[in-house]
Amino acid sequence: MSRENTSSTTSGSSQFVLPFRLIFSTWPYILIAFTTALAFWIVSSIFDQLLYFTPIVYFYLPEDAVVGFILATITSVLLGIIVSMNIFVFKNTRKKIKTASFFSGSTLGVLSSTCASCSSLGFLLVSTLGAAGVTASSLLSNYQIPLRLLSIGLLAWAYYSVSRQLMNSCAINHKRPA
């Protein structure tokens, strides 16, 4: 009984660590993760009006943007890791990639990066949906932080899901009779 418990605990913690170690022990996957995270970070920083390229390259972090920036950076890192893991799964296993949580998480991350009603996205909503568009863009704008947290939650779920897929493909079924 105690052996079973130990085994279960080990498998629980390693379920998240082992796939990470396995995938990020090779340079191509590190590079993919880094590039994806950087691309998303740049996009979200542009959306947040923190990063400018013309006429000078300039990044600044005003007080009102600190929390959002931290969450967007976490989202970027998670996104990079998950994209890289999904590519690994696609190339090395026959398993079908579960994309729902990944895509919803990344899309939410991008959407919540915008102050919707200040940007072209909000204008698109307002011009196509009228009063409903105003409400929708206000919601996106007012609930930016909770949406970003939700986005991180979805990406964390995507990470868990991919890790489990990878571990299950190598798992030993202890209940199987010898």
For another protein, the binding residues (CB under 8 A) are 36, 39-40, 42-43, 46-47, 49, 52, 54-56, 58, 60, 62, 64-65, 79, 83, 102-103, 106-107, 110, 114-115, 117-123, 126-127, 134, 138, 141-142
Nearer to another protein (CB atom), residue 87 or residue 167:
87
Within a 10 A sphere around the Cβ of 40, how many other Cβ atoms? 23
Specify burial of residue 170 (Cβ count, 10 A radius: 0-12, 13-18, 19+): exposed
Nearer to another protein (CB atom), residue 6 or residue 146:
146
Query: Is 110 within 8 Å of 43 (Cβ atoms)?
Result: yes
Question: What letter would DSSP give residue 54?
Answer: S
Nearest approach, Cβ of residue 86 and another protein (Å): 9
Asked whether the CA dihedral 65, 68, 70, 76 is positive or negative, the reply is negative
Nearer to another protein (CB atom), residue 4 or residue 64:
64
Nearest approach, Cβ of residue 126 and another protein (Å): 6
Nearer to another protein (CB atom), residue 27 or residue 60:
60
- Coil, strand or helix at 51: strand
Nearest approach, Cβ of residue 42 and another protein (Å): 8
Task: Name the β-bridge partners of 58.
Answer: 52
Nearest approach, Cβ of residue 77 and another protein (Å): 15
Nearest approach, Cβ of residue 159 and another protein (Å): 14
- Coil, strand or helix at 6: helix
Alpha helices in the chain (DSSP H): 2-23, 27-47, 66-92, 100-112, 120-129, 131-142, 144-170
Nearer to another protein (CB atom), residue 37 or residue 166:
37
